[in-house]
Structure 1
Amino acid sequence: MNKLQQLAAPTGRFFLSLIFVTSGLSKITQYEGTQGYMEAMGVPGALLPLVILTEVVGGLAVMLGWKTRYAAFALAGFSALSALLFHADFSDQSEMTSFMKNIALAGGFLVIFAQGAGSYAIDNRNKNES
């Protein structure tokens, strides 16, 4: 594997995860507004702490390559579910774009789930010690 291929995995994990880490952190600072939006969309606002935990911890786990397959699978489901719950108004072009972005993210996370973290991942630490 050449150096470019080795750098592709951590860079890809970083790019895929960054949106979740930043989004989760912004939900903390905009808690009431996010909770109100969720409730307006028919989703219980009481689920917001779980949403924040999923985005921040799951995003950091994929980013660092720790428990990567589990975190990627969880974020794939989260992305698909978010698309269906919050962006399924296909008469609105911006919602359609958001829907497709979430589906694309789910696809990227499913590839990580199938292939593993790749190079420069905490998951590989024990493999190298064997």
Structure 2
Amino acid sequence: MNNPALGDAAKLIGRILLALMFVLAGWSKISGYAGTQAYMASAGVPGILLPLVIIVELIGGLMIVVGFKTRLVALALFAFTIVASVLFHMNWAQPMQQLLFMKNLAVAGGFLVLFAAGAGAYSVDKD
């Protein structure tokens, strides 16, 4: 890109957009704790893992927004997103589940790009 400032602004906006879903999901799991545990159990995932899920989504998402340890967190959220997709969105007999799976693949791809590109100048990382 010929304009580094524009590229760094795009990275900032991209980080915010990628992270927003995770921050909001993590936060909503706190207020809907029991319901989320029941949903996880219905998919065969132990509810005891919910605090870890909340930390990954909420703290990981906020780390992406501010650009702290971006490459590492992007890789972790890439893996988290793939695992969540396989566990919760494989019932493709329901078109919405197929759509959610594909959306998650796109988000995972965004995290891979962020891993490769780094956070940019408007971040704690400054890479």
> Shorter-chain-normalised TM-score: which range?
over 0.9
Are 2:45 and 1:43 aligned?
Answer: yes
SS, match of residue 120 in structure 1: coil
1:29 matched residue in structure 2 = 31
Q: Give unmatched runs, 5+ long, in structure 1.
A: none
Letter in 2 for 1:50: L
Letter in 2 for 1:56: L
- TM-score, normalising length from structure 1? 0.92
1:106 matched residue in structure 2 = 108
Are 2:123 and 1:121 aligned?
Answer: yes
Q: Deviations over 1:20-63 (max 9, x none)?
A: 00000000000000000000110000000000000011101111
Q: Give unmatched runs, 5+ long, in structure 2.
A: none
1:69 matched residue in structure 2 = 71
Percent pairwise identity: 49
- TM-score, normalising length from structure 2? 0.95
Structure 2: distance between partners of 1:93 and 1:87 = 10
Q: Deviations over 1:72-116 (max 9, x none)?
A: 000000100010000001111100000011111111001111111
How far has the Cα of 1:3 moved from its partner? 3.9
Structure 1: distance between partners of 2:65 and 2:44 = 31
Structure 1: distance between partners of 2:11 and 2:112 = 14
Are 2:7 and 1:10 aligned?
Answer: no
Are 2:114 and 1:87 aligned?
Answer: no
Letter in 2 for 1:52: I
1:59 to 58, 61, 65: 61
Structure 1: distance between partners of 2:125 and 2:15 = 13
Structure 2: distance between partners of 1:56 and 1:115 = 22
SS, match of residue 125 in structure 2: helix
Query: What count of residue pairs does the alignment treat as equivalent?
Result: 125
SS, match of residue 89 in structure 1: coil
